[in-house]
Amino acid sequence: MNAPTKNATATISAGKNPVGAPVSRAERVQQIVSPGGIAAWLVEDYAVPLVAMEFSFAGGASQDPQGKAGAGSLLAGLLDEGAGDLTAEAFHRALEDHAIRLSFSAERDEFYGHLQTLVRHSDKAFELMALALNAPRFDAEPLERVRGQLNAALKRESREPDAMAAQAWRRAAWPGHPYSRASRGELGEIDAVTRDDLVALRKKMLARETLKISVVGAIDAATLARHLDSLFAGLPEKADLTPVPDIEVQGAGRRIVVDYDVPQSNIRFGRPGIARRDPDYIPAMVVNHILGGGSFTSRLWQEVREKRGLTYSVYSSLSTADHSPAFIGSTSTKNERAAETLSVIETEYTRLAADGPTAEELDKAKKYLTGSYALRFDTSTKIAGHLLQLQRESLGVDYLDRRNAEVEAVSLEDARRVAKRLIGDSRLLVAIVGRPEGVSEQSAA
């Protein structure tokens, strides 16, 4: 579909005001509540005539019915495939005619919605979005078409080594848990999802109780409040979510090898992580940057790629899934060098846990993390997405101003302590797809 071709520039960037005092990002965020009780965060920005909205409901793929993984993705793909009196073709034509970008997605713990529109078409955009949320049709032809698209994507992924490694790692890390299933779905299960399943899933998950909204652009608070009620006030008040149990990443020390006739070994590795609301999360973010999150400067990048030429890319990251934080990473290398690559990675984990980072590494990491934070505010969509993330993580709007100070406050002692906590005994759950020479299956014992 056609979409707006421009994007609003940042309006909550940090810096100095004319008298030299720090500019507050948080002060630009209005926290509004509509007459119907719908809350949202708003940043007014009239530099470009656009409005961007990001919103979410708790639930996501973790709410897929047993044996029907992919129901959430199917629901997300169908909300804009006809609604109210508009068939799928008519609905898409209306979006295209007005250059409106509307989409939905089901992630692991959350169901997201995304809207971007020119101001002159905002009334139409909100009208169409209200229909999609409140009166989706789930007609037979779009249902089978979207189901076919998802199945085609899953079939491609079933032959892609990186996706296969991710699947093997997930199933070993979270056996029998909803997180063991791919957010997009599983082959053979999407076919079992019926129209009645989609109707029930929408009713249980799309509720005002867990709704978070952020809006950035050329719209004032009163106008937004009016639209919020038309969009969301008709949804159920309470969600009816299936409880998802907390679980720690399993299988530390285990190696899984999936035989696949390809010239490279795709390697996925990880261990338990640190929750986003944990007081040690910010130091853990700094430690991760030093180990594998800093791309060109990280230890993994330097040791695995630059010094030895074992791979094109290697990284680590902190996953803050609601019910099981994880510290994960990935790379790929020639089959004949898989054992060496894995050995170097494990050595760097062990070395960082034992000795912690150097003062120079810590200083560089903090400078990068504080300096790059501004990149999250250079478009209206990025701003809206980050504000939504802060709401989801209950960090408060003041996090916009205190985040960099928290990063800068991480001491060498903090980083070394948290490196030991995060990496622990350095044992990793490893899944490899390919024919890695010198690497064999290994139990966690």
Q: Tens digits of per-residue pLDDT, 359-373? A: 999 999 999 999 999
pLDDT value at 404 more than 70: yes
Residue 294 has a pLDDT of 82
Decide yes or no: CATH 3.30.830.10 for domain 255-434: yes
pLDDT value at 302 more than 60: yes
Comparing C-alpha atoms, which of 314, 323, 324 is closest to residue 269? 314
Residue 342 has a pLDDT of 97
Residue 179 has a pLDDT of 97
The stretch 306-312 carries a mean pLDDT of 96
CATH architecture for the domain at 26-232: 2-Layer Sandwich (3.30)
Residues 131-184: pLDDT tens digits?
A: 999 999 999 999 999 999 999 999 999 999 999 999 999 999 999 999 999 999
Residue 5 burial (10 A CB sphere; 0-12, 13-18, 19+): exposed
Residue 295 has a pLDDT of 73
H/E run at residue 434: strand 429-434
pLDDT value at 17 more than 90: no
Residue 444 has a pLDDT of 78
Strands 429-434 and 264-272: antiparallel
Residues 205-228: pLDDT tens digits?
A: 999 999 999 999 999 999 999 999
Residue 440, helix vs strand vs coil: coil
| Domains of the chain, residue spans | 26-232, 255-434
Residue 191 has a pLDDT of 96
Sign of CA dihedral 35, 36, 40, 45: negative
Q: Is residue 298 within 8 Å of residue 289, measured between CB atoms?
A: yes
pLDDT value at 93 more than 50: yes
Residue 384 has a pLDDT of 98
For tokens 């009196």, name the residue: 85
Q: Is residue 287 within 8 Å of residue 349, measured between CB atoms?
A: no
pLDDT value at 445 more than 90: no
pLDDT value at 429 more than 50: yes
pLDDT value at 305 more than 90: yes
pLDDT value at 18 more than 70: no
Q: What is the mean pLDDT of the chain?
A: 94
Question: Is it true that 26-232 and 255-434 share their CATH fold?
Answer: yes
d(CA 17, CA 21): 6
Residues 238-276: pLDDT tens digits?
A: 999 999 999 999 999 999 999 999 999 999 999 999 999
H/E run at residue 204: helix 195-205
Residue 153 has a pLDDT of 96
pLDDT value at 6 more than 90: no
pLDDT value at 19 more than 60: no
Q: Which of 12-26, 246-260, 294-308 has the lowest mean pLDDT?
A: 12-26
pLDDT value at 293 more than 90: yes
